[in-house]
Structure formats: C-alpha cells, structure tokens
Structure 1
Amino acid sequence: MKKLIILFTLGLFILSANAIAKDNKYTVQLEMNDGDLIPLVLEVPAKTKIRIEVKNIGTQPAEFESTQLRKEKVLAPGAKSVVVIAPLKPGSYEFFDDFHLDHPRGTILVKE
C-alpha cells in the first residue's frame, strides 16, 4: 500500500510539472526611447507563448503596436508593461512605435 501511495504521489508530481512547463512563456525585453526600439529585432522560439517586457525609457509617450499580431500598448514616459503574444509560426512579424512613425520598425523573428 505504501508503494502505491508513493507511485500515485510521484505521478501527480509529474503531471503537475508538465502542466506548469506547458504554461511557461519565453520572455524578452524591449526598450522604447523616443521612437528608437532597443533592440530592433526580438528573436523568439516558435510555438511558445511570448512575453515582451516593454519599458519606455524616453521623455515622450510611446506605443508598442503590431497590426499583424493585433497588439498595442501605450506607455507614458518611464512606464513599464507586458505584452503577451500567443504561440507563433516561424517567420517575421513587424512592430513599431505608433507615436514615432518616422523611426525604423522592429521585427519579431520567430525561429523553429
């Protein structure tokens, strides 16, 4: 009986660990500085939830926007926030600062 309880407990532990692992997100950082995106390319793995920690280090408002991914987030100067993106197929997805359209656009590069 003792062995059965140990095996049952071990099985629950393994199932719980798998459930937690599946909910993990791949985190990257992005700084926005008055239109400059640092870095311009965010490399992420395919088929994984993506968590982008965005920080506006500039003196003006910034807006992380991706029309392809249907995501946007406005940040006041000095503000921090998070954008979560569902798992993506390999490829490249464009994002930009909607308040500074004259600056270069960034790319989320999804690799297998």
Structure 2
Amino acid sequence: MATTTPSPRGANRSLARTCRRGAILLLLSTSAAMHAETSAPPTVELRLQNHLFEPSEIHIPAHTKVRLLIHNLDSTLEEFESWDLNRKKIIFGNHSATVFIGPLAPGTYRFFGEFNPKTALGRLVVQ
C-alpha cells in the first residue's frame, strides 16, 4: 500500500488558515475587552460619618448594575449590610469599599450598618 505525503503547498494553506483564525480570535477578544472597559457600571458614592449614611436615600435606575463606593469617614469599622440586597461588606475606619448592586427591579431596598443599626440606616430607591 502506497502512502502519500502532504504537499508543501497544502501545509502552507493549512498554516495560513490557522493564522487567520488566530488573528480573528485575537481581534474579537480585544474588541470584547475594550467594550467591557467602556461599559463600566455607573458609580454612586455613599459616606458613613458619625455612624450615619449620607445621603440616607440613594436613587438608581432600574435594571442597571451599579458600583456603590462607600467611604467610611469614622475612625471605627462598620459593616455595610442589606438583607434586601443580599450584601455585606466590612469597611475599616477611614477606608473605602466597593459593593456592586443590581441589576434590580424597581422598588425600595433597605441597608444599614451592622454595628450601629439604630443610626446607620439608608434606603436604595430603584426607579
């Protein structure tokens, strides 16, 4: 039985096809990464000072992921907590932390400070 060896021309075509596929994949992945960077969620800032959230009511758009940036201006640590949002985050004194929220349906979602639940209270209103 005779065996055939691939011609160099066929090998070059196969290599060219592989290179084109690789270039297309690289282009698509670069495009996706650039899109991810440009579509970062909006940031809403919240301050914790004297064991109070300021502002105590935040409004965000419905069905949109939001980056909540919380600045703890107190010297003591606090835990941002929300049973409605299913979120917890410990924030050391004089530090900041990020919590991603949503996308959420319209409604009101409560949050509080775990260590000062009587004073550190707030609401997230989704419209």
With normalisation by structure 1, the TM-score equals 0.77
**CA deviations over 1:44-98 (Å, ceiling 9, x no partner):** 0001001100110012111111011110111111111100012000110000011
**2:69 aligns with one of 31, 53, 64:** 53
Q: Bigger relative contact order, structure 1 or 2, given CA contacts below 8 A and separation 6+?
A: 1
Could you say which residue in structure 2 is the equivalent of 1:82? Answer: 98
Could you say which residue in structure 2 is the equivalent of 1:101? Answer: 117
**CA deviations over 1:19-58 (Å, ceiling 9, x no partner):** 5499431210001124200100111000100110011001
- Report the Cα distance in structure 2 between the residues aligned to 1:54 and 1:99, rounded to whole angstroms: 16
Q: How many pairs align?
A: 98
- Indicate the SS of the match to 1:25: coil
Could you say which residue in structure 2 is the equivalent of 1:5? Answer: none
- Indicate the SS of the match to 1:55: strand
Could you say which residue in structure 2 is the equivalent of 1:7? Answer: none
**2:40 aligns with one of 13, 16, 24:** 24
Could you say which residue in structure 1 is the equivalent of 2:24? Answer: none
- Report the Cα distance in structure 1 between the residues aligned to 2:37 and 2:46, rounded to whole angstroms: 24
**1:38 aligns with one of 32, 40, 54:** 54
Equivalent pair of 1:65/1:72 in contact (CA under 8 Å): yes
- Report the Cα distance in structure 2 between the residues aligned to 1:109 and 1:85, rounded to whole angstroms: 12
CA RMSD between the two structures: 2.3
Give the gaps of 5 or more residues in structure 2: 1-27
Matched AA of 2:60: V
- Report the Cα distance in structure 1 between the residues aligned to 2:111 and 2:86, rounded to whole angstroms: 10
Give the gaps of 5 or more residues in structure 1: 1-11
With normalisation by structure 2, the TM-score equals 0.68
